[in-house]
Structure 1
Amino acid sequence: MDIKTLHDADFCNLAIAKTAFDTLSTAFGGHVENWQHEVVDRLHNSQWSGTAADHATTRIQNLHDELHAAQQEIALISRALQDAGEGFAAAQAHLISALDDAKAQGLTVAADGTITWDNNPDSATYLGDGPQKAQQIRDRITAAVTEADHADRTISSRLAHLTTNASNGTGLDATVATNDTAAANALSQIPDTGTDPNAVAAWWNSLTDEQQHRMVLNHPAQIGNLDGIPATGRDQANRINLARARTDLQHQLDGLGPEPDAVTGTPYGAVESPMHKLWKQQHDDLTEKLGGIDAIDKRLNTQVDAAHPPAYLLGFDTDGKGHAIVAINNPDTADNVSTYVPGTGARLGKVDGDIDRSDKMVAAANAANSKRTTSSISWIGYDAPQKLLSEASDDQYAKDAEDKLHGFEVGLHATHNGNISNNTILGHSYGTTTIGYTMKDKGLPVDNVVLIASPGAGVDTAKDLHIDPSHVYAAQSQADMIGMAAAMDPGGAADNAWDNLRADFGFDDGDHHLIHGRQTTTPQFGATVLPTNPDGGHSDYWNDGSPTLAAMGQVIAGK
């Protein structure tokens, strides 16, 4: 496929051929129905019996099945022609749009794709930024031609298969026709949530660009949150989800009406009004979620420059406390990919701080190695505990997140252009517990694990994470109060008591168990300990100038 061929192509004949096959399929279907009434039904209703009757009945029924299979195959040709026409038309429209923009910008595009412009500084039509504009147009033209090539290969493969079935009689087999129909239907059926991301990626790649575009527009909630869909597709879908959610949440907020009286009188004095309590809970939840949407929208639409790489919305919903997955730089094309899992309190309404941390980690990785691109993803894709005392001590939140985190990480590999050279999973606080449980129970396809301020990763040693222990890193400041979250389970508490007793006699070996497992910075755990600011608190590891932030950048950058 070349520019001239795509530009000049007339796809009317495809539409005419599709209509012809529709007519053929309808007429053929009429004959099959007539055969059913005039032959099959009459035979079944006759009183003919015996061996000859049984043979005749079987043969006639087989013939009916073959006719029905042939009708299905004819209908599939019509569907293939329709899909091809839509795919080619979309590619042609994208090409014409690029050529029109090129002309408006003072660029001339030759039939072979060569782009020229006025490069004379003394000329009235001099185009100083010609190289940049030409590259943008060139990329769009290449994308349009590639889109047409994909549509061409797809239609050729489908028609060749159906033609072979027709020529050798395979298409008369009911099982073959059923399988072919199922394969065609699968092109428009979105895989269920939890489907192997590699299978999702294969399904997505089997669609033409036009079909993918329709999926994004018609099913954004499913496409935007499905592991195995490329980052660009998920981002397009989730921007639609984001706008719709803002409208819906604002409508709910407006529907709450004015604030009720805060107190109500009782025989025992004034107490908070139940109506006010419910109103305030709903008001605060809606307001906070709208704030989270605003923060995401602001980052997505920040002008891209050296300090502000492009952002992609890889997941979004407002269920419960809300979820969001935001990537800084495209993880499908980056050399280094890091997924950051926040801990207690993580939710949609607090996403701005997590996005800021991803921005800082990309900058730290760039400082460590500027020759390789890095994507950092803030993954609020699970229901994190929200209360420090009553919820953060429960490991069920981590267990419930295992399938989601595992699917997301597998999906990053399924959609990446080539192999990810360096893949890191990084958690803070309860996020490290979530990571630890997932790695212990399911494993994760990552090269490095970074555990920041961990209350325990659900394992006793780094090797229990099913990764080379030399690629497990941990950090915890001396001033971080997470170190006070002592173990409550009998085994961990007994170990701590024994360790304390040994310390009294000068034999302290530094071992210590926290609420979700052995402290990750102890020698017995076996991780490489990263530097910290000894005076830093639980949330200070990403502060400007933090030695931990610089070390995180080194790990993420593969240094």
Structure 2
Amino acid sequence: MSVLRTAFGRGRRLFVGAALAVTLVAGTGGWAAGTAQTAVTGPPPGAAAFRADRVLGVPLPDPASAGPAAVARFFGTLTDAQRHALVVRHPLTVGNLDGAPVALRYEANSRALKAERARQLSRATDPAGTLQDHRQARKAARRCAELLAPGRRILAFDPRGRGQVAEVYGDLTTAGHTAVLVPGSDIDLGTFDRAKDPYGTPTGMARSLRRELAAQAPGMRTAVIAWAGYTTPVGLGPDAATGRLAEAGAPRLARLLSGLAATGAPAPAVLCHSYGSVVCGLAAPRLGRGALRDLVVFGSPGMRRDSVADLHTAARVWAARDASDWIARIPHIELLGLGHGTDPVSAAFGARRVPAERAVGHTGYLVPGTDSLRAFAAIVLGRYGAVR
């Protein structure tokens, strides 16, 4: 009998796994709906040159191995002139170096964006390029110009791959309450702040949350980081159904949060949308105490964890899903590499529920006037009694 039970169990798991694959393919129009992405991993661009530079007469921290706390200590020993010298010589590296002073990163990324814009404008007139090359280069140059607009605070900029970027709304150095927004699929340098479906973009979500924070706590100093710092899936193909890109993105998110802690920012509430919640689920166990205060997932396909306990975090964990979100139709299992596990809004997972009765669809959670947006802001402000 035990042999029969074992065989039946294996057969049932294979059947469920096959059903999951069929459901995902049918629900997305086939694997062709998404294309496989190459994840950007490792240290910031130019790390080798930065590590080898002896302009200051002392070894510089290795971006590939030095933790954010060590980076913060190193920059704390430098004069303003020495810091500026590193920005001039290594803007891409300093601009993406978690643990470096925030204002220095803004300056470095401004320089990096100007250099990238110049490079793309040169490509746009290169006679060796095709017409398509020229169009893509002009588009990239315009993107850089948009990010260079006065008042924008770019915390990270990496042109590799589809491009990554992080932007701060508010003053991160004086904020008493902070939040980090982690997006899901189809977000990159080009779609970071697209006009279409704005509340499904990092910038649209961040701006809406910041306005709600100001409405709930006038005069309170807050900051919201829109973080598109990992390679996201494109479409709803195999990348969205597996954890491969989330596993590559989780260390990057953990390093960002550790870097904020190292520079003295208060522990943030991290709000994770859709596939971004998979990244957050894998990043949470990597974080030390004080790097994360609240973890909020919404429109989540799962976190690749069976329960809140499996996140190994002291942070409060919250979950929201509105009734019209199509993500509810995705099977919440993980088998043979497909799927992301237990539904975070289920009682079995154990997260605190966030109301989302007025939210509509998969990207409607931060639309002004929704109960989910009000609740998210209350969580960021630590007003947990207001979340009903």
What displacement does 1:326 show? 0.6
CA distance in 2, matches of 1:376, 1:484: 31
Residue 172 of structure 2 is aligned with which of 331, 339, 343?
331
What displacement does 1:185 show? 2.8
- Which string of whole-angstrom CA distances, capped at 9 and with x for unpartnered residues, describes residues 104-141 of structure 1? xxxxxxxxxxxxxxxxxxxxxxxxxxxxxxxxxxxxxx
Paired residue type of 1:385 = P
TM-score for the superposition, normalised by structure 2: 0.76
What displacement does 1:466 show? 2.1
Distance 1:520 1:284, change over 3 A: farther
The question of whether the paired residues in 1 share the 8 Å contact of 2:304 and 2:334 is answered with no
The question of whether the paired residues in 2 share the 8 Å contact of 1:457 and 1:517 is answered with yes
What displacement does 1:283 show? 5.8
Q: SS of the counterpart of 1:185?
A: coil
Corresponding residue number in structure 2 for 1:349: 190
Number of residue pairs the alignment of both structures matches: 322
Within-5 A mapping of 1:268-347? 279=132, 282=133, 285-286=136-137, 288-298=139-149, 301-302=150-151, 311-347=152-188
Paired residue type of 1:454 = S
- Alignment of 1:362 with 2:210, yes or no, is yes
CA distance in 1, matches of 2:314, 2:336: 26
Residue 111 of structure 2 is aligned with which of 240, 245, 261?
240
Distance 1:191 1:535, change over 3 A: closer
Paired residue type of 1:364 = E
What displacement does 1:226 show? 0.5
User: With CA pairs under 8 Å and 6+ residues apart, which has the higher RCO, 1 or 2?
Assistant: 2
Corresponding residue number in structure 1 for 2:63: 192
- Alignment of 1:553 with 2:383, yes or no, is no
Q: SS of the counterpart of 2:148?
A: helix
Paired residue type of 2:331 = A
- Alignment of 1:249 with 2:111, yes or no, is no
Distance 1:222 1:332, change over 3 A: same
CA distance in 2, matches of 1:293, 1:202: 31
What displacement does 1:531 show? 1.4
Q: SS of the counterpart of 2:259?
A: helix
The question of whether the paired residues in 1 share the 8 Å contact of 2:359 and 2:370 is answered with no
CA distance in 2, matches of 1:322, 1:256: 25
Distance 1:550 1:283, change over 3 A: farther
- Alignment of 1:404 with 2:246, yes or no, is no
Residue 539 of structure 1 is aligned with which of 357, 363, 373?
363
Corresponding residue number in structure 1 for 2:294: 448
Paired residue type of 2:57 = N
Corresponding residue number in structure 2 for 1:478: 323
- Alignment of 1:381 with 2:229, yes or no, is yes
What displacement does 1:251 show? 2.1
What displacement does 1:285 show? 4.9
- Alignment of 1:209 with 2:80, yes or no, is yes
What displacement does 1:441 show? 4.9
What displacement does 1:316 show? 0.3
What displacement does 1:549 show? 1.1
Distance 1:198 1:251, change over 3 A: same
Aligned structure 1 segments of 4 or more residues deviating by more than 3 angstroms: 256-260, 282-292, 440-444, 487-492
Q: SS of the counterpart of 2:100?
A: coil
Q: SS of the counterpart of 2:239?
A: coil
Distance 1:550 1:295, change over 3 A: farther
The question of whether the paired residues in 2 share the 8 Å contact of 1:296 and 1:351 is answered with no
The question of whether the paired residues in 2 share the 8 Å contact of 1:487 and 1:515 is answered with yes
Structure with max Cα Rg: 1
Paired residue type of 2:161 = G
Within-5 A mapping of 1:87-166? none
CA distance in 1, matches of 2:227, 2:87: 22
What displacement does 1:360 show? 1.4
CA distance in 1, matches of 2:336, 2:108: 48
The question of whether the paired residues in 2 share the 8 Å contact of 1:193 and 1:226 is answered with no
CA distance in 2, matches of 1:440, 1:284: 43
Q: SS of the counterpart of 1:351?
A: coil
Corresponding residue number in structure 1 for 2:28: none
The question of whether the paired residues in 2 share the 8 Å contact of 1:423 and 1:448 is answered with yes
CA distance in 1, matches of 2:244, 2:87: 34
Paired residue type of 2:180 = T
What displacement does 1:210 show? 1.1
What displacement does 1:293 show? 2.5
CA distance in 2, matches of 1:208, 1:394: 46
Structure 2: runs of 5 or more not aligned: 1-53, 194-200, 384-388
Paired residue type of 2:312 = H
CA distance in 2, matches of 1:400, 1:385: 12
CA distance in 2, matches of 1:405, 1:295: 25
Corresponding residue number in structure 2 for 1:108: none
Within-5 A mapping of 1:9-158? none
Paired residue type of 1:196 = G
The question of whether the paired residues in 2 share the 8 Å contact of 1:477 and 1:533 is answered with yes
Corresponding residue number in structure 2 for 1:528: 352
Corresponding residue number in structure 2 for 1:3: none
Corresponding residue number in structure 2 for 1:13: none
Q: SS of the counterpart of 1:337?
A: strand
The question of whether the paired residues in 2 share the 8 Å contact of 1:402 and 1:442 is answered with no
Q: CA RMSD in A?
A: 2.6
The question of whether the paired residues in 2 share the 8 Å contact of 1:366 and 1:553 is answered with no
Paired residue type of 1:239 = S
Q: Which has the higher helix share?
A: 1
The question of whether the paired residues in 2 share the 8 Å contact of 1:364 and 1:552 is answered with no
The question of whether the paired residues in 1 share the 8 Å contact of 2:206 and 2:224 is answered with yes
Distance 1:259 1:228, change over 3 A: closer
Residue 392 of structure 1 is aligned with which of 228, 240, 252?
240
- Alignment of 1:426 with 2:271, yes or no, is yes
CA distance in 1, matches of 2:144, 2:372: 29
What displacement does 1:222 show? 1.2
